[in-house]
Chain A
Amino acid sequence: MAATKTIDVTDESFPSEVLESDIPVLVDYWAAWCGPCRMAAPVLEKIAEEYDGRLKVCRVNVDENREVASQYRIMSIPTILLFKNGELVDQITGVTPNFERDLKRKIDPHLD
Chain B
Amino acid sequence: MSIKDINEDLIMKISKGEEKAFSLLYDCYYTYLNTVALCYIFNKDVANEIVNDVFINIWHKRHTLSYPIHSYLIQSVKNGCLNHIRAQRTNERVLTDHKKQLLDFQEEYILSNPTPLQYVEAHEIEKEVQNAIAHLPEKCRSIFEQYLFLGKLPEQIAKEQLITVSTVRVQIKNAMDKLKLSLNHLICGLLLIFLK
**Are these two chains actual partners, yes or no?**
no
Q: A: which residues have CB within 8 A of B?
A: none
Q: B: which residues have CB within 8 A of A?
A: none
